[in-house]
Amino acid sequence: MSASRPVPHSDRGAAAPVQNAPREDGLESRLDALCRSVAEVFAVPMVAIALIDADRIRFRARYGLAEAFIDCEDALCQHTIRQPRGHALVVPDLIRDKRFVHSPLVVGAPHARFYAGLAIRSGAGRVVGTLCLMDRVPRVDVSSDRVRILQELALVAEAHLELDEARRASEAAERRRAEAHLLEWEARQRALEAAHAMAEQIAAFGHWRIDAATRTIAWSDGIARIFGRNAERATLPLETHIGFYHPEDRERVWAAMDEALAGRSRTLGGGYEHRSRILRPDGEIRVVAVHGIGEHDDAGRLVSIFGVCLDVTGMARTEQRLRETGEAMRAALEAMDQGLVMIGPDDRVQVHNQRVRDLLELPEDVLHEGVSYGAVRRFLGRRGEFVHAPPEAQEWLEHGDFPPGVQRYEGMRPNGTILEVRHAPMAAGGHICTFTDLTASRQSEAALRSAEADYQSLFQNAVIGVYRARLDGGIVQANRALARLHGYGDAGQSLPEGGFSHDWYIEPGRHEAFLACLEREGHVEDFVSEVRRHAGGERIWVSETAWVVRDAAGRPIWFEGTVADATERKRAQALIEHMARHDALTGLPNRRLFQETLAREIDGALRDGGSVVVLCCDLDRFKAVNDTFGHPAGDALLRVVAGRLRATLREGDVVARLGGDEFAIILPSRGKQRRIAAFARRLIQAAGRPVDLGGRATTVGVSIGVAVWPKHGDSADTLFKNADIALYRAKDSGRNTFRFYESGMALAVVTRNLLEIEMRESIRSGGFVLHY
């Protein structure tokens, strides 16, 4: 809504208001004047007298407001009418009142800040609207005296509305009397004397008199009101009077009037009559019914024509609507998929549509409006139409003795069509018969039943579990495979009466994670979890796929899914994972798992302030055993040594086979050198015990290199490399011993490696000479 404000007595720099254009209606003019007076008294830019319609507020009078309507839910007046009688609603600052801070009138045009209003009541005491005023700035100057002034002005508005209501009631009564008299006059016009008819018509509607000599016409007040012209009732030339009719009707009206004036009228009393359209000054087209009667002198000459005029616009529009309704009804009947026949109390067809003739294959000479419905029934009976009807229906179909109430039956016609026939009595007598072709529907139902049977067979006999569940996880439908997964159906276990829940997970929070994924993604794919069967409590692994089912509006209503036993798959995956991280010969962790464990232990020690010890172990004389006794014996020796190394460890220690006869050990939180040395000696002692290889005893030794984090390396790779360097020093020291890493060892290893490389290069290039 947009608005403009007046310049109040105390100039606030506002622009002059956009005045609302004056209106012809006397009540609106008086109310508009009242609004202007209120604006001046209270020095506000906006005043309105608002009347309440069904869903919006209509400004019957307004000042400074451009819009004539506003939705009820946006109107401030809604709060005013809830006030006790005679109490005003005054809001000094709308944006400080939480009821109105978001109102469109506050946040948008006209950006109101101040509001005051008082309910207006009808003469019966019913609230019909409000007198309200608004300003674009806050106001705190509304005293109790000014509220009393507002109350008195509201009483003035109520008085105006009560006077207008009384005036409208009077006019409505006059119109009803006019219409009643006109209908009576039309019924008796040719039987009553001209003077009696003219007196009744003039008294009821409005009358006129044509002077035959001067060819002028005089109007009554009623005629002036109907035409909306000539309020002063001046005598008009007939040409001027004819000019007020619709251009398409003027010639016809003039011809009827001219014949009457010329004495050639064929109507009773020598006058004329017609129904025509007139044009009012505002462009509105109205329909009037005119009746005139001639007045003659003693010599029989026409002196004048007296007439009455009735505004029959409403009647004409009603007739038009009736015609349109009849046409619409006929169109609807023909558009119906059902056949319909309406039979009157005399058992004759009143209405029918083409569809009933098509369904029953009835020729037009058999079924038409006015024909006896008994004849139609007999025609259908001879064709065998009622043969497949139920026995109780055949008698009343053939003889027309319909039982009370709505009767229905379904039967097959001779051509195989399945029809539903309904007979319903009408309150005024007679009945309506409808015929509905159910052939396609029954075929679809049969196909649906077959599809449902196929679905149930697939559903119940599927090898994986299939279910439907509520959004909270309660299962409402499940097949036999899912029941077996839950432990029901095995060993005599039966399903519980209340069904069972989808929440069967071992891991806490797993069910919530499943539902959260469903809500977020709309589906879940291959959700693998360890679960406990509801019946029996056995733990198994399952793989789930599920999806959300939504209604037509897109709202989730349940979810469906499949469940497969993944226990063997999980075991296979665990085996594969174990094989990927463990040595196949000894069962010890392999190099990959060793590196992962070492990195994890160093991270933990870095976080907790501990230490990590790495021991690189290499078997002494293993190659000789392998070459002497063969590879199977070597493998057996490795398994025995691996078991002895594992038995030496405490909980949390890790031993791994890195390949061949190389082993490595991780000792978390064992930082004192003497304890590490004692552990290394136990390893050497355990590995050096004799080994029985198929009845032959043999022994091997073990050389060990030791590195401690963080002293001997700050990363897993550096720590392992330095332990390996220490291993080389142990082997150089006579084998079957251990050495801790020292800073000079790395240089010695590098020097040795370089010497080895140079010697190999010299041998390749002939740099060595053999002397013997």
Position with higher pLDDT, 560 vs 72: 560
Predicted TM-score of the model (pTM): 0.39
For the chain, give the number of residues: 772
CATH assignment at residue 549: 3.30.450.20
Q: What is the mean pLDDT of residues 460-482?
A: 82
pLDDT reading at 684 higher than 90: yes
Backbone region of residue 308 per phi and psi (left: phi > 0; alpha: psi in -120 to 50; beta: other values): beta
Within this chain, do residues 500 and 622 fall inside the same structural domain, yes or no? no
Return the axis-axis angle of helices 591-608 and 716-732, rounded to nearest 10°: 110
pLDDT mean across residues, the chain: 83
Residue 7, in any domain of the structure? no
The set of residues, in sequence order, having a beta carbon less than 8 Å from that of 48 and lying 6+ positions away, is: 35, 59, 61, 62, 63, 65, 131, 132, 133
Q: Strand 465-469: give its sheet, edge to edge.
A: 475-478, 465-469, 556-565, 539-550, 523-532
Structure tokens at 668: 């978390």
pLDDT at site 187? 58
Cα distances (Å, whole numbers) of residue 70 to 52, 107, 567, 568: 10, 15, 69, 72
Within this chain, do residues 59 and 143 fall inside the same structural domain, yes or no? yes
Within this chain, do residues 561 and 600 fall inside the same structural domain, yes or no? no
168, 203, 220: which is the final residue of a domain?
A: 168
Q: What is the mean pLDDT of residues 197-214?
A: 66
Structure tokens at 763: 């041998």
pLDDT at site 496? 57
CA pair distance 74, 105, nearest whole angstrom? 8
pLDDT at site 747? 65
Q: Which residues pair with 340 in a beta bridge?
A: 434
pLDDT at site 661? 92
Kindly write down the DSSP assignment for every residue of 122-167, as one continuous string: -TTS-EEEEEEEEESS------HHHHHHHHHHHHHHHHHHHHHHHH
Within this chain, do residues 428 and 505 fall inside the same structural domain, yes or no? no
The percent of the chain in helix, strand and coil, each rounded to the nearest 5, is 40, 25, 35
Domain that holds residue 491: 462-571
Position with higher pLDDT, 770 vs 750: 770
pLDDT at site 31? 87
Phi and psi of 5, rounded to 5°? -120, 150
Within this chain, do residues 669 and 629 fall inside the same structural domain, yes or no? yes
For 717-741, the pLDDT digits (tens) are: 999 999 999 999 998 888 889 999 9
Residue 639, in any domain of the structure? yes
pLDDT at site 18? 44
Residue 238, in any domain of the structure? yes
For 128-184, the pLDDT digits (tens) are: 889 899 999 999 888 888 889 888 888 888 888 888 888 888 888 888 887 777 777
Within this chain, do residues 267 and 289 fall inside the same structural domain, yes or no? yes
For 374-391, the pLDDT digits (tens) are: 888 888 888 888 778 777
**Residue 755 burial (C-beta neighbours within 10 Å; 0-12, 13-18, 19+):** exposed
139, 168, 197: which is the final residue of a domain?
A: 168
Within this chain, do residues 589 and 713 fall inside the same structural domain, yes or no? yes
pLDDT at site 269? 66
Within this chain, do residues 567 and 589 fall inside the same structural domain, yes or no? no
Structure tokens at 381: 């009976």
Residue 35, in any domain of the structure? yes
Asked whether 344 and 350 are in contact (CB, 8 A), the reply is yes
CA pair distance 559, 231, nearest whole angstrom? 78
Place of tokens 């009808």: 122
Q: Which residues pair with 432 in a beta bridge?
A: 342, 424
Residue 77, in any domain of the structure? yes
CATH assignment at residue 595: 3.30.70.270
Kindly write down the DSSP assignment for every residue of 15-40, as one continuous string: PPP-PPPP-S-HHHHHHHHHHHHHHH
Within this chain, do residues 251 and 133 fall inside the same structural domain, yes or no? no
Cα distances (Å, whole numbers) of residue 221 to 174, 181, 208, 233, 564: 13, 17, 10, 7, 94
Beta strands in 375-497 (DSSP E): 407-412, 418-425, 431-437, 465-469, 475-478
Within this chain, do residues 562 and 641 fall inside the same structural domain, yes or no? no
| CA-based nearest residue to 218, from 313, 311, 309, 310 | 309
The set of residues, in sequence order, having a beta carbon less than 8 Å from that of 549 and lying 6+ positions away, is: 468, 556, 557, 558, 559, 560
CATH assignment at residue 148: 3.30.450.40
pLDDT at site 222? 84
Asked whether 707 and 741 are in contact (CB, 8 A), the reply is yes
Phi and psi of 220, rounded to 5°? -95, 175
Structure tokens at 162: 């009560």
Q: How many domains does the chain have?
A: 5
Within this chain, do residues 500 and 599 fall inside the same structural domain, yes or no? no
CB hemisphere CA count around 18 (13 angstroms) = 7
260, 289, 318: which is the final residue of a domain?
A: 318
How does residue 392 score in pLDDT terms, banded at 50, 70 and 90?
confident
Q: 3-state DSSP call for residue 472?
A: coil
Residue 287, in any domain of the structure? yes
Residue 220, in any domain of the structure? yes
Q: Which of 12-16, 88-92, 279-283, 456-460 has the lowest mean pLDDT?
A: 12-16
Asked whether 437 and 418 are in contact (CB, 8 A), the reply is yes
Residue 668, in any domain of the structure? yes
Phi and psi of 738, rounded to 5°? -135, 155
Backbone region of residue 730 per phi and psi (left: phi > 0; alpha: psi in -120 to 50; beta: other values): alpha
Within this chain, do residues 610 and 721 fall inside the same structural domain, yes or no? yes
